[in-house]
Chain A
Amino acid sequence: MGSLSKTFTSSVGRKFVMGLTGLFLISFLIVHVSINALIFLNDGGQTFNVAADFMGHNLIVRIMEIGLFAGIILHIVQAIVLTAQNKAARPATYAYSNASANSTWYSRSMGLLGTLILMFLILHLYHFWWPTKAAVFNHEEHDTFQNITMVFQELWVVIVYVLGVISLGYHLLHGFQSAFQTMGWNHKKWTPIVKAIGFWFSIIVPIIFALMPISIYLGWIS
């Protein structure tokens, strides 16, 4: 057991936790974006509300939700510890560094992008997660679709949401393939496929997310 616990405090072990929680959060995004996309049926939110209601009350989903929060917290805690170690590894910085010559800006800015996503997430939970919880607690009916159409009437909210998912997009653009590399899943045949899937995932998923507030604000969906 001693050896096992030491595994997860080593550099490779911490990155393993980072990658594993990252992939878990990606799998959550697939569920989230699929349910969101139901509003584009434009049936007054009927189908969407059925799905939202199921997610709000199903026991397995409730248990998964605890896992999801644990995953997010673990991902954040590991990120903080790793960043602190990484900063300590270079106490004196370069007077002149041309980092763009050897790496992309978003691969070097995962901490910044993650912080932006977290700030967005707090607002997002306040808008949509908390009202659902309050309704379940008070045994009230909750019309999620109506809540959405209300929240996205404000232009600044729409702008913050679009910026939030752009941060998510860039975070995924590096994070998706990076998670596979960290887990050691690098293969001549499979890595190009993983990279291609990661690239399109990082573009398509944020676009679907962004279309939701935009189309409600512009009245495409009601």
Chain B
Amino acid sequence: MNLTLKVWRQKNSKSTGNLVDYKVSDISPDMSFLEMFDVLNEQLINKGEEPIVFDHDCREGICGMCSMYINGRPHGPKDLVTTCQLHMRSFKDGDTIVVEPWRAKAFPVIKDLAVDRSAFDRVIAAGGFISVNTGNAQDANNLPIAKSKADAAFEAAACIGCGACVAACKNASAMLFVSAKVSQFSLLPQGQPERYKRVQNMVAQMDSEGFGNCTNTGACEAECPKGISLENIARMNRDYLTAKLFSEEEA
């Protein structure tokens, strides 16, 4: 396959970037999108140019690092995949592909396609955990959990924190991410003691990071590589309003 790439190049968070055209040839349709970028970078290095910086780690769809906005969509044209799971057979020979970084005030560009997603880490640090004393785990049968709740918690916990929800949202809202991290605990008995404190702290941190507000367009759910549901946002709103209006637990 021969392709034309328009890739965002930006020196650092302070500079303004621009799209630069590159041509790649003899690309196998079985390559992943990242492997195609490896080929492009080899070319650039051989020519003595600076390679394109992009984030990647596991290359099996679980680390959530490969943040590329491909042809106007996070992680490209396929549903339920990360960039490393996107294969070149999803494109046609001769295609022009535009590749940009996530764009959000809370995700400053570090260089080229790599963005700083530590805002997510700070949201987690604000309450995305349970406080337990260490020691032996108690017998699992002591904590019966309804199958439907366990399933919903598991689905919420599948969030890999890639930031595609923020990238896709027209408001750069992080509510799908934060609601998944709130939900995985609020559905389970272990999450109950800190349930109302957690949601208040995590929403406050989300707001202070400069993410936008949810307008329920559903773009996040449609683009999430793990299929995190909008039900989580409703649950977070419910928990938040309950906490603020009726719980005596101050955050």
* CB-CB contacts below 8 Å: B174-217 with A: 175, 203-204, 206-207, 210-217
* A89 near B106: Cβ-Cβ < 8 Å: yes
Stretch at the interface among B55-63, B65-73, B138-146, B154-162: B65-73
B206 touching A11, Cβ below 8 Å: yes
Q: Judging by beta carbons under 8 Å apart, are A3 and B215 in contact? A: no
Comparing A26-34, A93-101, A119-127, A161-169, the segment that makes contact with chain B is A93-101
Closest-by-CB residue of A relative to B179 is A12
Q: How far is the CB of B147 from chain A (nearest CB, A)?
A: 14
* B153 located at the interface, meaning its Cβ lies under 8 Å from any Cβ of chain A in the complex: no
B217 touches A107 (CB 8 A): yes
Report B-chain residues with C-beta under 8 Å of the C-beta of A108: 170, 215, 217
A7 within 8 A of B: yes
Scoring B69, B171, B210 by chain A CB atoms within 10 A of each residue's CB, the highest score goes to B171
Cβ of A36 under 8 Å from chain B: no
For B112, the chain A residues whose CB sits under 8 A away are none
Q: Label chain A's interface by main secondary structure.
A: helix
Cβ < 8 Å to B, chain A residues 136-192:
174, 177-178, 181-186
Answer whether residue B85 sits at the interface, using C-beta atoms and an 8 A cutoff.
no
Which residue of chain A lies nearest to B167 when distances are taken between CB atoms in the complex? A94
Q: Are A101 and B73 in contact (CB under 8 A)?
A: yes
| Complex contact A88–B213 (CB within 8 A) | no
Check if B168 sits within 8 Å of A90, measured CB to CB. Answer: no
Inside 8 A of A58's CB, which chain B residues have their CB? none
Is B124 engaged at the interface, CB distance under 8 Å to the other chain? Answer: no
Judged by a CB distance under 8 angstroms, whether B92 is at the interface is no
Q: What's the Cα separation between A102 and B219 when bound, in Å?
A: 5
- Interface size of B by CB at 8 A reads 51
Q: Is B98 an interface residue (CB 8 A)?
A: yes
B-contacting 9-mer, from A13-21, A68-76, A211-219: A13-21
Most central of A4, A93, A184, A185 by chain B CB within 10 Å:
A184
Taking a contact as CB atoms closer than 8 A, the residue among A13, A88, A184 that contacts B234 in the complex is A184
> Chain B residue with minimal CB distance to A8?
B244
The chain A residue with its CB closest to the CB of B212 is: A89
Counting CB contacts under 8 A, is A110 at the interface?
A: yes
B13 vs chain A, min Cβ distance (A): 11
A86/B234 in contact, CB under 8 A: no
Question: Within 8 Å CB of A82, what residues of B?
Answer: 213, 215
B4 to chain A, nearest CB (A): 13
B118 to chain A, nearest CB (A): 17
Q: Are A90 and B172 in contact (CB under 8 A)?
A: yes
The stretch from B33-41, B42-50, B126-134, B235-243 touching chain A is B235-243
| Cross-chain contact B218 with A107 (CB below 8 angstroms) | yes
Which A residues are in CB contact (< 8 Å) with B231?
Answer: 186
With a CB–CB cut-off of 8 A, which chain A residues contact B223?
A: 102
Q: Is the CB of B234 within 8 A of A185?
A: yes
* B230 at the A interface (CB under 8 A): yes
- Chain B, Cβ-Cβ closest to A16: B241
User: In the complex, are the beta carbons of B19 and A95 less than 8 A apart?
Assistant: yes
Taken together as a complex, chains A and B put the C-alpha atoms of A99 and B211 apart, in Å, by 19
Min C-beta distance of B172 to chain A, whole Å = 4
Check if A46 is an interface residue, CB within 8 A of chain B: no
B105 at the interface (CB under 8 A from A): yes
Residues of B within 8 A of A (CB): 6, 8, 19, 69, 71-73, 77, 98, 100, 103-106, 168, 170-173, 175, 203-204, 206-207, 210-219, 222-223, 230-231, 233-241, 244-245, 250-251
A13-B240, A174-B216, A182-B237 known; 11 other A-B pairs, CB under 8 Å? A11-B214, A90-B171, A98-B71, A99-B72, A102-B168, A107-B216, A108-B215, A178-B216, A181-B230, A185-B234, A186-B230
| Chain A residues with a Cβ under 8 A of chain B | 3-4, 7, 10-16, 82, 85-86, 88-99, 101-104, 107-108, 110, 174, 177-178, 181-186
Q: What would be 11 A-B contacts, judged by CB atoms less than 8 Å apart?
A: A3-B244, A3-B251, A11-B175, A11-B207, A11-B211, A85-B212, A95-B100, A99-B219, A178-B215, A181-B233, A183-B238
